[in-house]
Amino acid sequence: MRYLTDRKRATGLGAGGAGSHHHWKMIVSSISICVLTPFFITTFGLALGRSYDDAIAFLSHPVSVVIMALSLIVGIQHFKMEIDEAVEDYVGGIARKLTLVAVTAFSYTLMALGLFALLKIAL
């Protein structure tokens, strides 16, 4: 007969301990997306109906580039965190690790390509 309390039996079987940190990161990125989206839509909308040269000139302003870059980075980072959570919940074993690596690589590749494109437009 084992004399273990319920708490002792459950020790080590509960939450991973990183849930609140992940939750706050998601809240901050969600609020950031809510703030950046109107600025992004306005910036993109103002450049939309122009000719190619006028649109490039408009998007080369520092404020436009910063708004587009922040929207890109925050949006893809939020996407990555959400996909990571889904993978951690529903995929197991070596497939989990490989999927997390693939999602991370894909996300950072998208960020790098988007920032490179913005730099080409801005310069």
Q: In the chain, what are the domain boundaries?
A: 19-122
Question: What is the pTM (predicted TM-score) of this model?
Answer: 0.81
Q: Which are the contacts of 119, defined by CB distance < 8 A and separation ≥ 6?
A: none
Interhelix angle 62-90/52-59, nearest 10 degrees: 80
Q: How far is it, in rounded angstroms, from Cα 46 to Cα 62?
A: 15
What is residue 36's three-state secondary structure? helix
Per-residue pLDDT of the chain in tens (123 residues, 90 and over written 9):
567 677 666 665 555 566 778 889 999 999 999 999 999 999 999 999 899 999 999 999 999 999 999 999 999 999 999 999 999 999 999 999 999 999 999 999 999 999 999 999 998
Total Cβ atoms within 10 A of residue 30: 13
The number of helix segments (H) and strand segments (E) in the chain equals 5, 0
| Domain boundaries 19-122, corresponding CATH code | 1.20.1300.10
